Chains A and B, each alone.
Chain A
């Protein structure tokens, strides 16, 4: 019986010791827990350093998407009005965040590394229509020293859709 009481007290002692430990709670809205390096959150459409969009409107992401969440519509680039290198660019790019399962297949399918799943996860909506993110909402701001699209470019300068890139990181 004494053994039982000792074991009971030992258990309660552990409970008591937790009273004096630092609480593990993250005070969420104020203090955010950093996400992991490979976390997959909301998408972003990337740009090259000169401001041209990486997306060439090939729809491979839409084909790879298991949930059919992506809609891409491509249009022709011209040298007077250039959005991306190569022949075409995505004139419409929509992702339904309520369909997307954040698997990252679009990221894998993209030949130009244009779409990247970043670290934003706070996606709550009042209605379903506002969950459809358009190209304007997804694309990153123009980097410093770059120029906003559409750009006027020299003929023959951006003929290839996939320019010579450095090795993927």
Chain B
């Protein structure tokens, strides 16, 4: 049961409100400071002067999960790290999104062994997978833009 059924036909108002909310969500998406390995270097580079992620309103990498909207899992997640990743994800307030940056976070990559989680989607739901080892800063920004694109398509029905 979505908001549209509860509130009746809101017509154009619903549409515009969705746009406004999605605009707000995409343009101030604060990532969680979550670099685990070499991908973190590229994640830092994407926020530094040359690629400047603050153009998309995400210059603030929050070290606290309560203040973050987006978790960029940058690097390989070991089995020991997995409970920590899950706890940090649970501590993030809704709405929250996850980008698995790089091969290791997406599917284990080259580390096909017992120590590494074969993709963080084993433990948390992932929205976007970014391939590369590590991905260029542009590739990460492209992943973020793909995420923004999917958020713009969201409607109230998806949230309710």
Contact = CB atoms under 8 A, between A and B. Distances in A.
Interface stretch (A9-17, A122-130, A138-146, A153-161): A122-130
Q: Per DSSP, are chain A's interface residues mostly helix, strand or loop, or mixed?
A: loop
Chain A, interface residues (CB within 8 Å), range: 20 to 34
B107 A124 contact: no
A124 B50 contact: no
Nearest to B99: A124
B31 interface: no
Contact of A98 (B52, B55, B131, B142): B131
Contacts of B14: none
A105 B130 CA distance: 21
Contacts of A66: 110
Interface string B126-137: 011111110110
Interface stretch (A28-36, A55-63, A76-84): A28-36
Contacts of A122: 138-139, 142
Given A98-B129, A99-B107, 10 more contacts: A27-B55, A29-B141, A67-B103, A98-B131, A100-B103, A121-B138, A125-B130, A126-B128, A126-B129, A126-B146
Interface of B: 49-52, 55, 103, 106-110, 112, 119, 121, 127-133, 135-136, 138-139, 141-143, 145-146, 150
21 contacts: A25-B55, A28-B51, A33-B50, A67-B109, A67-B112, A97-B131, A98-B109, A98-B131, A99-B109, A99-B110, A101-B133, A102-B132, A103-B133, A121-B139, A123-B130, A124-B146, A125-B131, A127-B129, A128-B121, A131-B107, A131-B131
